[in-house]
Amino acid sequence: MILVQDQLKDQSEVRIDIEDRGYQFGDGVYEVVRIYNGQYFGMEEHLIRLERSAREIQMTLPYSIELLKERLEKLAKANDIRDGHVYLQITRGVAERTHQFPLQQAPFLVAYARKSPRPLSKMKDGITAITTEDIRWLRCDIKSLNLLGNVLGKQKAMDTKCDESIFIRNDIVTEGSSTNVYIVKNGEIWTHPANNFILNGITRQVVLDIAKETGITVHEETFTKNELMDADEVIISSTTMEVTPVISIDGTQVSNGEPGKVARTLQEKFNERIAQLQRVKN
Ligand code: PDD
């Protein structure tokens, strides 16, 4: 079953119009939300960000956050998802193809849930990355359907048998192609400030909260490519990758090429947050 507008439907019943503006222009916004043990993680925060992304492109969500939450709960249950995620997108709807907004906007919502395991071995062993130029637009804070810069970045990583591309804009490390990036130096964390150059990840917000709670100093300040290459630890985070250490960049080991202590602490506390979710819900 998938969610179309506010109704659960069988996927075979659903047709996407060739003049949907999401299909033609990437004119829409989206979210990916994790499901652990049948329960959503950070749903409220994801929906608030969705609302903000929509507002920033002058679109209004067609339904309230309360209604969306209720329907998404039904979607996860209908598909019997224990560990997985939901993908939700809202486009500006169907209209004759002109670049400007149609006079009548009818936002179109689709969401589907999938089973997907946690990336446990990558979290344990770490991943490899390359650096590449950040060629994206200047509103990376909007979780827009337009992902060509991200897609090309990820593909470049795959072509060099790496897991992720770390974007560099004017010598500054912004974020990964689908992740936020952190460096650790002398036990303290640096990560790009949440402005128009990055997506303010929901996982990023949890990581910063955990760091604060654990007494790890965080600098939401920019850092350079040299500082990245010279870091004691490099870590990425996202809904799907959780908190994962980076053990090599552009073929050079990060420190001794092993996941570091700060990464391990954050992972441990992140696991506690997931466990806490179960306790609160039960
Ligand atoms: N990607 N930065 C970018 C460019 C992203 O695409 C993502 C998420 C993040 C991390 O955000 P969060 O912690 O809220 O997942 C940062 C999702 C998972 C995706 O497009 O699949």
Instruction: Give 21-79 pLDDT, tens digit per residue.
Output: 999 999 999 999 999 999 999 999 999 999 999 999 999 999 999 999 999 999 999 99
Would you state the pLDDT for residue 277? 81
Would you state the pLDDT for residue 162? 98
Would you state the pLDDT for residue 281? 61
Q: Which of 145, 32, 12 is nearest to 90 (CA)?
A: 145
Mutate to test the pocket of ligand 1, among 34, 165, 199, 208 (most ligand atoms within 8 A of CB): 199
Ligand 1 binding pocket, CB closer than 6 Å: 32, 150, 175, 178-180, 199, 201-204, 237-240
**Which atom of ligand 1 is nearest the CA belonging to 30?**
20
Using CA positions, which residue lies closest to atom 9 of ligand 1?
179
3-class secondary-structure state, position 201: coil
Q: Give the pLDDT mean for 263-275.
A: 97
Residue 119 contacts residue 154 (beta carbons within 8 Å): no
Q: Give the pLDDT mean for 197-223.
A: 98
Active centre residues (catalytic): 30, 143, 175, 199
- C-alpha radius of gyration, the chain, whole number: 19
Q: What is the mean pLDDT of the chain?
A: 97
Decide if pLDDT at 207 tops 60: yes
- Distance of CA 60 to CAs 32, 88, 194, 259, Å? 19, 15, 23, 43
Q: Give the pLDDT mean for 15-19.
A: 96
Global pTM reads 0.97
SS (H, E, C) 20-79: EHHHHHCCEEEEEEEEECCEECCHHHHHHHHHHHHHHCCCCCCCCHHHHHHHHHHHHHHC
What is the pLDDT confidence band of residue 282, given thresholds at 50, 70 and 90? Answer: low
Question: What domains, with CATH codes, occur in the chain?
Answer: 2-117 (3.30.470.10), 121-277 (3.20.10.10)
Spatial strand order in the sheet of 7-9: 7-9, 2-4, 108-115, 84-91, 28-36, 39-40
- Distance of CA 68 to CAs 1, 13, 89, 206, Å? 16, 21, 12, 22
Mutate to test the pocket of ligand 1, among 35, 137, 178 (most ligand atoms within 8 A of CB): 178
DSSP symbol at 163: S
Decide if pLDDT at 279 tops 80: no
Using CA positions, which residue lies closest to atom 2 of ligand 1?
179
Burial of 193-208, coded b for 16+ CB within 10 Å and e otherwise, reads ebeebbbbbbbbbbbb
Distance 103 CA to ligand 1 centre (A): 32
Mutate to test the pocket of ligand 1, among 148, 179, 191, 236 (most ligand atoms within 8 A of CB): 179
Distance 96 CA to ligand 1 centre (A): 31
**Which atom of ligand 1 is nearest the CA belonging to 203?**
13
Q: Give the pLDDT mean for 118-130.
A: 98
Decide if pLDDT at 108 tops 60: yes
Cβ neighbours of residue 92 closer than 8 Å, sequence gap 6 or more: 21, 22, 25, 27, 28, 57, 59, 101, 102, 105, 107, 108
Would you state the pLDDT for residue 280? 65
Q: Give the pLDDT mean for 231-243.
A: 98
Percent of the chain with pLDDT over 90: 98
Q: Using CA atoms, how far apart are residues 122 and 60, in angstroms rounded to an integer?
A: 38
